[in-house]
Amino acid sequence: MHKGEEITVRLSGEQTESSTWAWSAPTAANGTVLRRDEARTLPNGDATAVFHARADGTTTLDSQFRCGPRKPGQVCSHVVVPWQATLKVRK
């Protein structure tokens, strides 16, 4: 990426009758390189974030995919699936 550019991350969740697999709002490991200006998560498990390249450097964007039960008493997996992308910003 180049300084001043914008990137939007959209991750799609999954819903079944008994559970929702949901993404956490994406974050940048180094907010000086990529600043997150918007973020939201939706009840269907989707997550979106908008980042702006602010300084030269390399950072990662990270999120986690987790299961949540939709009804009381329903069991969900304890598995956590990581997502990560590495971005390099320069002039």
Q: What local confidence, expressed as pLDDT, does residue 72 receive?
A: 87
pLDDT in tens, 38-63: 999 999 999 999 999 999 999 999 99
Q: What local confidence, expressed as pLDDT, does residue 24 receive?
A: 98
Q: What is the pTM of this model?
A: 0.89
How crowded is the C-beta side of 38, counted as CA atoms within 13 Å?
A: 9
Could you tell me the pLDDT band of residue 20, with boundaries at 50, 70 and 90? very high
CA distances from residue 30 to 45, 50, 51, 61, 90 in whole angstroms, order as listed:
25, 14, 11, 9, 14
Domains of the chain: 6-89 (2.60.40)
